[in-house]
Structure 1
Amino acid sequence: MIETLRHPGPVSARRWAVARCTAEPVEVVLPVAETFAKSAALALADYDGGWLVIENETLTTLDFVIPGEDATGAHAAWYAGPYQMGAGRIDHLGMHVGRKDGAAWIHGHGVFDAPGWEGPRMGHILPFESRLAHPIRARGWGIRGARLQVCAELETNFPLFQPVDLGGGTNAALVTLRPNQDMNAALALAAAEAGITDGQVLGLGSIVRPKLQGQPRIDSHATELLLTQGTLQNGVARIETEIVTLDASIHKGWLEPGQNGVCITAELLVIAG
């Protein structure tokens, strides 16, 4: 069984959103700009959005948060931090590149470090506070025909990325999942709606008290996760993740099917193949 979390708003009858798109592999350079989000958007200026992976690159300012409590009760979970590394290094980071209020926006989770750093090492990078010291390289997928755009989401009371159809595409789909449903099962159903039963899955999200194969259940009602591997085979999803918890501990493994309820959201790029 999945673990669940009570959210403040009304439960939507539709438990995922899907938009078809076309995805193509890219290797790009993020230029120096006033914010990390703007640098990412400029790197994908020829596309409607995309998914980028950055490895072993240094930022002049690297700020991030980890899962936290919301003492106000306005949300089922919130953030702790910000943690400010200064000239921190991205060990590895995966991020969706989209739009918010008409401007560049990213949602990225990764593992970070800096000389002498003794704080958390994995979390959610801050798009406006973080900045590049110099151009850096990234690889991933540029997408056309859809994009992720931040919209108000009543159930969780968060502004969240949601897929927006810009004309559709041929070989991929953007998928977002709402809370309190098994991530593997919901992903497979949403991808099937887009006509995809085999392929790879990229993205990030959060899970309530995750259960990884061969490991005890993780006692953290809020987490941040990054997919390290993801596949669909004959309509069955397999997902390997790296997870950071409320106490900043990091865990890695394959999600146990039927045991991992979405906490706030999952934002996924599914590529047929």
Structure 2
Amino acid sequence: MIATLTHPGPAAPDRYALVPCHAEPVTVTLPPADTLAQSAALALADYDGGWLEIAVAPLANLDFVIPGEDPTGTHAAWYAGPFRMGAGTIRHLGMHVGRKEGGPWIHGHGRFAAPGWSGPDFGHVLPFESHLSRPATAQGWGIRGARLDVEPDPETAFPLFQPRAVGPRPDPNAALVTLRPNQDLLSALETAATAAGLGEARILGLGSLVHPKLQGQTRIDSHATEFLVTEGRLSGGVAEIEIDLVTLGSLRHRGRVERGVNGICITAEFLLVGR
């Protein structure tokens, strides 16, 4: 059974959103810019959006947050921080590249490090407060025909990425998918993938879970966690996902998601690329 949270707004009737798209594998260079979001947008300027992963890269300034309590009680979960690492290093960052209010935006989770740093080492990177110190190489997927745009979400009272169709969509081979709270991660993703006509696919993305349970491990005592998919695949319509995650207390866990017991906290956002 999944653990759930009570959100401030009414539950939307549709529990997932998806838009088919065309995805192409890319290796790109992120140039230094005023913000990390701008760097990512410039690297994918030939595409409508995409998913990028950075293995290692130095940042002139690295700010991030981890899950936390909402002091106002407005939201079911919130953020702790920001943690200002300063001139830190990305050890592994995965990010959706989209738009917010007409400008570039990213949603990225990853691992970070810096000399003498004793704080959390995994979290949600802040797109405007962080920026590269020199060009960085990223690999991933550029997409055409769809993009993630930030929109208000009445259910959670958060501004969240949602997939939108944009421009022409040549030869769809992928889908952008977002999942709503309080449903099992794997089951919900499989339902959306079936609707997209994808039975075999790579699973790329991130999100948040409530009291997650990883295979062979005890249930994690944290009502809000943020995760990054480190390996994911859909085979015969069945999803298997391995993740890194961070808890309310900044503890980091890694493992394979157990079926039927991992409720989505705020959102989960995926690019499914057909195989």
| TM-score tier after normalising by the smaller chain length | over 0.9
What does residue 47 of structure 1 align with? 47
In structure 2, stretches of 5+ residues that fail to align are: none
**Helix, strand or coil at the partner of 1:197:** coil
- How much has 1:74 moved relative to structure 2? 1.1
Q: Partners of 2:58 and 2:33 in 1: how far apart?
A: 15
Structure 1 residues 44-79: Cα deviation after superposition (integer angstroms, max 9, x where no partner): 000000000001111000000000000111110000
2:94 aligned with 1:94, yes or no? yes
What does residue 257 of structure 1 align with? 259
Q: Partners of 1:242 and 1:72 in 2: how far apart?
A: 29
Q: Partners of 2:131 and 2:71 in 1: how far apart?
A: 30
The letter for the 2-side match of 1:30 is: L
The letter for the 1-side match of 2:121 is: R
What does residue 163 of structure 2 align with? 163
Structure 1 residues 104-123: Cα deviation after superposition (integer angstroms, max 9, x where no partner): 00000000000000000000
2:12 aligned with 1:2, yes or no? no
Name the count of aligned residue pairs. Answer: 273
Which among 178, 185, 192 is matched to residue 190 of structure 1? 192
The letter for the 2-side match of 1:159 is: P
In structure 1, stretches of 5+ residues that fail to align are: none
What does residue 57 of structure 1 align with? 57
What does residue 270 of structure 1 align with? 272
**Helix, strand or coil at the partner of 2:24:** strand
**C-alpha RMSD of the superposition:** 0.7
Runs of 4+ in 1 over 6 A off after TM superposition: none
2:247 aligned with 1:245, yes or no? yes
2:217 aligned with 1:215, yes or no? yes
Q: Partners of 1:71 and 1:129 in 2: how far apart?
A: 22
Q: Partners of 2:12 and 2:172 in 1: how far apart?
A: 28
- How much has 1:32 moved relative to structure 2? 1.1
Identity of aligned residues (%): 64
